[in-house]
Chains A and B, each alone.
Chain A
Amino acid sequence: MRVRAVHTIGDLADDMRNVSRRAPIEGNRVVRDNAYKGNALAKGFASEQHTMFGDEDIEYPPSFTVEKIAPMLWEYGPDTSIGDGSQAEGYEHGSINSPPHHDIARSVDVIEIEFPLDVDDMVRGLFW
């Protein structure tokens, strides 16, 4: 008769060591990816606005940029120093003569759902 015990406590110990090393890297990757995704969406909506309403706001979509503020803190949206970025307030909220375009709010509609899911996946991925 033979008894054979198999355990994977060593794997768990390895994971515990690796999680603290990988979490900041993976966390930053998730935040960065979502910032780029949000910016691509917002820029796409802004381009759509341009095709629909003529060429006076052709310089608006190129003003959408992504930048890193700190580790795991990224920002995207129109840069006021580029092209028509300074007109973002009017395009986003509209004015007395034009309806709001909500390019940024519409991108947030998507990101606010997908970002938490990506964070969830990232945390699960730290194990195994």
Chain B
Amino acid sequence: MTEKDQATSILAALNAALDPTVAYDLDKVPGVNGNAGTRPTKFATISISEKYEGKRRGSGETSVEGFRIVVRYAAKSTNDARNMRALTKATLSEKTVGSGANEIGPFVFQSSQAIAPDDGYQSGSDTYTF
């Protein structure tokens, strides 16, 4: 399963949970990066990277090996950002997303950043590994 497929699965799950807030890849947020429209008043972004995992045990067969995902919540209101954090936690933490061959997870909470003023928005992030 490629990183692109993983991002697609995770974004689909987040968009279902965060409705009507929308989760984007970093390059797809409206109003930035030359995209049409204006930057939404609340939105989430994700970024994925692979993580060092050392030598695996002989029996350690998994469909996807160690990755790290960061979900960033940005909103004009701190409470909106907090709600996004709670909904994301309910969707990802200790759970899997996708089904069949595209199932990934479970996501394990790693670290969190407080929601703070950031370029006219209030934003914070959570990091999960899977």
Q: Is B53's beta carbon under 8 Å from chain A?
A: yes
- B52 adjacent to A109 (CB under 8 Å): yes
Q: Is A114's beta carbon under 8 Å from chain B?
A: yes
Given contacts A100-B47, A102-B70, A109-B52, 4 further A-B contacts (CB under 8 A): A89-B113, A95-B118, A99-B70, A109-B51
Chain B contact residues, majority secondary structure: strand
Which residues of A are found within 8 Å of B88, using beta-carbon distances?
A: none
B48-66 residues with Cβ-Cβ distance < 8 A to A are 49, 51-54, 66
Cβ-defined partner of B52 (8 Å) among A89, A93, A94, A106:
A106
Count A-side interface residues using an 8 Å CB cutoff. Answer: 15
- A99 adjacent to B47 (CB under 8 Å): yes
Which residues of A are found within 8 Å of B113, using beta-carbon distances?
A: 89, 93
Which residues of A are found within 8 Å of B110, using beta-carbon distances?
A: 105
Interface string of A106-128 (1 = CB under 8 A from B): 10011001100000000000000
> With A and B bound together, what is the CA distance between A97 and B45 in angstroms?
10
Cβ-defined partner of A105 (8 Å) among B32, B53, B127:
B127
- A100 adjacent to B125 (CB under 8 Å): yes
Q: Is B89's beta carbon under 8 Å from chain A?
A: no
Q: Is B6's beta carbon under 8 Å from chain A?
A: no
Cβ-defined partner of A109 (8 Å) among B32, B53, B74, B125:
B53
- B70 adjacent to A94 (CB under 8 Å): yes
- B123 adjacent to A102 (CB under 8 Å): no
Which residues of B are found within 8 Å of A106, using beta-carbon distances?
A: 51-52
> With A and B bound together, what is the CA distance between A102 and B49 in angstroms?
10
> With A and B bound together, what is the CA distance between A113 and B66 in angstroms?
13
